[in-house]
Structure 1
């Protein structure tokens, strides 16, 4: 069509193998209370896992899952702000990080009784330090913004969880950190 269309296509190079999925779900205040969402994320866990904003639902995995929730009344291994979590854990010690923060100030008010939650960009720098090479970062939210591509992460998957108009859809991304994983073979074929 023209130079503008060619430029737009060039920016998408590398996403030819991007896995996309679409699911209809019943919305819930706690993301992983939805059976479809919980199964989707559990199928993508590998090695040692950090569930950075664990909430109330426990994910099931055959490896270790370290649960963090800023609310000290929640059942979790740690109760720290994700912007400071790197101070508590060893760098490069996780194969998967699951990040399901409050998507909005409204959700933060409902889930954390108005408590302010940390800065997303700072949290992602913490997660980058905690992830081993080849590790995966799984994020839920209202956008498909995941790890900064400037850090070399590759977008592997995007999922849409449609709430059928009951509230905003949930979006999830899976980004892979550069380098070879010492865990199991790559799960993307």
Structure 2
């Protein structure tokens, strides 16, 4: 029986700041998350199947499968420039195995580093990812909190990582949520295009 006490979430790993990249440059976690080598190495190790990099930014991730790069800024080198709050309108249901979500973490960061160009409704974006991710797929979220896909019963927490930034700066929190059940998705005519499945089910 629950005692009403909120339990601290287990942290899978802590990535300490500092040191140098392979090219000799000092490591710093700044404006472009995946320019920071430990963050890039971490996210690339988690990519599976067809990938949506929903807020792609500057850095191109390495992966042996397809990566669709989306960025709201029309001047950014990306495959699409959709508002992530409505991104499911532009792709078929359950059309990605992995979604990477690395938006500006708050309005101040967006105004300071991204010319104020960012999604206003993060929850709307998460709702769209729930529609886009296939059974057994992942959503990898970067931000100041560890919520990730906890609002959606189809997802279970697989891992939580902390990217440390130093003694007086907040850690960046990375959550990895795995879709363990499917949904009955419909196409525009109301026809079912998916079926209820459990993790590991090949149907």
TM-score range, shorter chain: 0.7 to 0.9
Q: Alignment RMSD, CA only?
A: 2.3
Task: Answer whether contact 2:72 2:117 (CA < 8 A) is retained.
Answer: no
Give the alignment partner of residue 21 of structure 1, picking from 6, 10, 13: 13
Task: Answer whether contact 2:11 2:162 (CA < 8 A) is retained.
Answer: no
Cα gap change, 1:119/1:158 in structure 2, threshold over 3 Å: closer, same or farther?
A: same
Please give the per-residue CA displacement for 1:14-68, whole angstroms capped at 9, x wherever unaligned. x8xx661001122211111110000000000000000000000111000000000
Cα gap change, 1:114/1:150 in structure 2, threshold over 3 Å: closer, same or farther?
A: closer
TM-score, normalised by the number of residues in structure 1: 0.84
Cα gap change, 1:170/1:74 in structure 2, threshold over 3 Å: closer, same or farther?
A: same
Task: Answer whether contact 2:103 2:142 (CA < 8 A) is retained.
Answer: yes
Distance, in Å, in 2 between the alignment partners of 1:144 and 1:92 is 24
1:85 partnered with 2:87: yes
Give the alignment partner of residue 8 of structure 1, picking from 1, 5, 12: 5
Give unmatched runs, 5+ long, in structure 1.
184-189
Query: Any residues of structure 2 matched to 1:16-165 within 5 Å, and which?
Result: 20-25=12-17, 26-165=28-167
More deviation, 78-87/173-182: 173-182
Give unmatched runs, 5+ long, in structure 2.
18-27, 182-198
Size of the aligned set, in residue pairs, is 175
TM-score, normalised by the number of residues in structure 2: 0.79
Task: Answer whether contact 1:27 1:166 (CA < 8 A) is retained.
Answer: no
